[in-house]
């Protein structure tokens, strides 16, 4: 059966029954307020409730409405930067603690799924790290040796290639006991467990300000305030930029397609390759077929306008590797928060010690978010955690300084947009269902014409630090090229660090 329409939302949003929660309507006093109802926030609320804390979770959107719903949900210890580079950046002890914490996160997810009886398709499997064309086998042997030094002694080199079903693939490292799951079904189970322990969840509640004193006050758009002994910001990018997180985290957009394959034509597996940017692959079962999920083609947020070509290249790559891959059923994009050393930033904000952050989860957000929940819950409970120092938000950049400098220069270059003209000379050139930047300098306008032809105008200056946003015609969003804030077509903020919506445009 041929499907006519490609789904432009992620496969996880197809048919899942997510719980809904009302906005906060009155002031609230709670022990711990967690901002963000994705995997980081809900995992943290779960860990805290387990430790006996009174928790409330707040989100401006629905459950899993952010990038947890756009991930491919590999639950893995296979790092974006690999163990060889992590050893260089963080030393032998750092690499060992990184491996230990990620394997513990996989075990923790498995335990929560079992204890809470969460039906989220969790499965264990091998993960593969493939050699991309043109790369040398040395890349794999170096990574194998570093992985084993980090404690992953079962990592093996398959130098003559890997066979998956009828497909023969290139040389690879095999990482045993990795996993994948359905991320939104997992969140459903976490919500149920949190409520079962007396936790509260509020959606449609946008936090506008974090006033950190002995008691932290969270202000909201609609008026009610939350007072908490401790606050955890699990919002992809922190909404308080107190430590200059935007100088340490470098957002990128990544693209994903889901292709039809016959049921059982490939075994369950997950994989990454050594290309830069890398490809990533997994399988998800559907009713009468399987879906081959392939991602990659990353670029810095707000700094590309060839999204259709990126989706096409992904499909070409997938069919070259996996000849049974048929039509594209799904395509979507998500934002990845990369950090200067490839590890998440987790722990207390030093400016506000009773405010905690979980951010910079890189391309393996399921494990990084789970590690974040374990560290932060321990820290709030006053329990020592062996990984806290490794992931501390204020850690020295060390050998990651070079990336911080080059990313900073990239940001500065984006401000030259203020000296240029817009994308089009007049809003009359904007077709229905599309957007463009119009005008000059600081009066530039982000103009969106909806499907009925009505024009919506907002200031094109990002409410974080004033960069000019760029129209993303694939996702129908305004993306900031400086630190990755994203706004919907009408200028409502989706991802920080921007604290608020795009301002009304001057007439």
SS3 content of the chain, % helix, strand, coil (to 5): 30, 30, 40
CA dist 90 and 146 (Å) reads 12
**Shortest distance in whole angstroms from residue 246 CB to ligand FES:** 6
Please say which residue, 37 or 462, places its beta carbon nearer to ligand FES: 462
Please say which residue, 246 or 472, places its beta carbon nearer to ligand FES: 246
Q: How many CB atoms lie within 10 A of CB 205?
A: 26
Coil, strand, or helix at residue 112?
A: helix
Please say which residue, 131 or 249, places its beta carbon nearer to ligand FES: 249
Coil, strand, or helix at residue 76?
A: coil
Contacts of 295 (CB under 8 A, 6+ apart): 72, 254, 255, 256, 257, 279, 280, 281, 314
**Shortest distance in whole angstroms from residue 480 CB to ligand FES:** 3
**Shortest distance in whole angstroms from residue 409 CB to ligand FES:** 15
Please say which residue, 52 or 244, places its beta carbon nearer to ligand FES: 244
**Shortest distance in whole angstroms from residue 483 CB to ligand FES:** 3
**Shortest distance in whole angstroms from residue 357 CB to ligand FES:** 16
Please say which residue, 87 or 298, places its beta carbon nearer to ligand FES: 298
Question: Judging by DSSP bridges, how do beta strands 28-35 and 226-233 pair with one another?
Answer: parallel
Please say which residue, 113 or 239, places its beta carbon nearer to ligand FES: 239
Q: Which residues pair with 232 in a beta bridge?
A: 34, 356
CA dist 197 and 55 (Å) reads 9
Interface residue list for ligand FES (CB under 6 A): 246, 462, 464-467, 480, 482-485, 497-498
> Do the Cβ atoms of 472 and 307 come closer than 8 Å?
yes
CA atoms within 13 A on the CB side of 255: 25
**Shortest distance in whole angstroms from residue 63 CB to ligand FES:** 25
Among the listed residues 361, 351, 461, the one whose alpha carbon sits nearest the alpha carbon of residue 79: 361
Please say which residue, 45 or 498, places its beta carbon nearer to ligand FES: 498
Please say which residue, 202 or 340, places its beta carbon nearer to ligand FES: 340
Structure tokens at 228: 């908490």
The kind and range of the H/E element at 118 are none
> How far are the Cα atoms of 320, 413, 422, 438, 478 from residue 419, in angstroms, in the given order?
44, 11, 10, 13, 19
**Shortest distance in whole angstroms from residue 237 CB to ligand FES:** 8
**Shortest distance in whole angstroms from residue 469 CB to ligand FES:** 7
Please say which residue, 195 or 415, places its beta carbon nearer to ligand FES: 415
Contacts of 296 (CB under 8 A, 6+ apart): 254, 255, 275, 277, 278, 279, 280, 314, 317
**Shortest distance in whole angstroms from residue 467 CB to ligand FES:** 4
> Do the Cβ atoms of 439 and 425 come closer than 8 Å?
no
């Amino acid at each position: 059966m041929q499907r006519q329409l490609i789904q432009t939302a992620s496969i996880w949003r197809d048919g899942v029954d997510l719980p809904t929660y009302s906005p906060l309507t009155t002031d609230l006093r709670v022990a711990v307020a967690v901002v963000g109802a994705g995997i980081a926030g809900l995992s943290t609320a779960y860990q805290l409730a387990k430790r006996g804390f009174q928790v409330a979770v707040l989100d401006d959107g629905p459950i899993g409405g952010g990038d947890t719903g756009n991930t491919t949900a590999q639950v893995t210890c296979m790092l974006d930067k690999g163990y060889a580079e992590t050893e260089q950046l963080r030393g032998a002890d750092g690499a060992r603690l990184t491996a230990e914490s990620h394997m513990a996160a996989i075990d923790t997810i498995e335990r929560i799924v079992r204890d809470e009886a969460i039906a989220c398709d969790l499965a264990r499997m091998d993960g593969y790290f493939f050699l991309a064309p043109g790369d040398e086998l040395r890349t794999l042997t170096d990574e194998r040796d570093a992985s084993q030094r980090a404690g992953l002694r079962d990592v093996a080199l398959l130098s003559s290639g890997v066979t998956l079903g009828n497909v023969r693939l290139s040389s690879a490292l095999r990482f045993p006991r990795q996993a994948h799951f359905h991320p939104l079904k997992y969140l459903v189970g976490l919500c149920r467990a949190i409520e079962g322990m007396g936790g509260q969840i509020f959606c449609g509640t946008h936090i506008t300000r974090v006033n950190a004193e002995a008691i932290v006050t969270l202000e909201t758009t609609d008026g009610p305030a939350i007072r908490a002994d401790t606050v955890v910001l699990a919002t992809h990018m922190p909404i308080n930029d107190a430590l200059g997180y935007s100088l340490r985290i470098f957002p990128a957009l990544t693209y994903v397609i889901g292709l039809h394959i016959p049921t059982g034509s490939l075994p369950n597996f997950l994989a990454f390759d050594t290309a830069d940017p890398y490809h990533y692959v997994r399988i998800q079962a559907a009713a009468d077929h399987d879906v081959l999920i392939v991602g990659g083609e990353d670029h810095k947020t707000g700094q590309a306008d060839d999204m259709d070509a990126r989706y096409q290249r992904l499909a070409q790559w997938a069919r070259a590797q996996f000849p049974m891959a048929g039509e594209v059923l799904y395509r979507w994009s998500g934002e990845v928060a990369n950090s200067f050393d490839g590890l998440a930033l987790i722990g207390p904000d030093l400016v506000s010690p009773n405010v905690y952050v979980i951010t910079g989860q890189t391309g393996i957000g399921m494990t990084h978010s789970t590690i974040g929940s374990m560290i932060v819950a321990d820290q709030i409970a006053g329990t020592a955690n062996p990984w806290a120092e490794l992931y501390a938000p204020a850690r020295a950049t060390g050998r990651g300084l070079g990336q911080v400098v080059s990313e900073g220069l990239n940001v500065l270059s984006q401000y030259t947009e203020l000296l240029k003209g817009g994308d089009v000379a007049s809003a009359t050139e904007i077709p229905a269902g599309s957007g463009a930047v119009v005008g000059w300098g600081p009066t530039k306008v982000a103009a969106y014409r909806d499907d009925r032809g009505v024009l919506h105008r907002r200031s094109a200056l990002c409410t974080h630090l004033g960069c000019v946003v760029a129209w993303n015609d694939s996702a129908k969003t305004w993306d900031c090229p400086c630190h990755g804030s994203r706004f919907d077509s009408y200028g409502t903020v989706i991802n920080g660090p921007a604290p608020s919506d795009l301002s009304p445009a001057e007439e």
